[in-house]
Amino acid sequence: MEKKTVSIPNISCGHCLATIKREAGEVKGVSSVEGDAASKQVTISWDAPATWDQIQAALKDAGYPPQ
């Protein structure tokens, strides 16, 4: 399992976080998406077939590109 914590500056509320969890969670292989709106940090865990590039693309398409 791979795990990555990233900063997503566009997070401003719980709704933003819910969108991020939904969009990243739709990538096949993503097992966990946890985040905090106050710190603008999100931790994502995944296994194959998911890749970081796929997860990053899903977040970018949703308007929440990770830094």
pLDDT, tens digit (0-9, with 9 covering 90-100), for 2-61:
999 999 999 999 999 999 999 999 999 999 999 999 999 999 999 999 999 999 999 999
Prediction pTM value: 0.93
Number of structural domains found in the chain: 1
53 lies in which domain range? Answer: 2-59
Please state, in angstroms and rounded to a whole number, the distance separating the CA atoms of residues 20 and 62: 8
* Token pair recorded at residue 39: 């710190």
Tell me the one-letter amino acid at 33. V
Kindly state whether residue 66 falls inside one of the protein's structural domains: no
Q: What is the per-residue pLDDT for 36? A: 95
Q: What is the per-residue pLDDT for 22? A: 97
Give alpha helix (H) positions in the chain. 14-25, 52-61
Kindly report the CATH number assigned to the domain that includes residue 51.
3.30.70.100
Q: What is the per-residue pLDDT for 52? A: 97
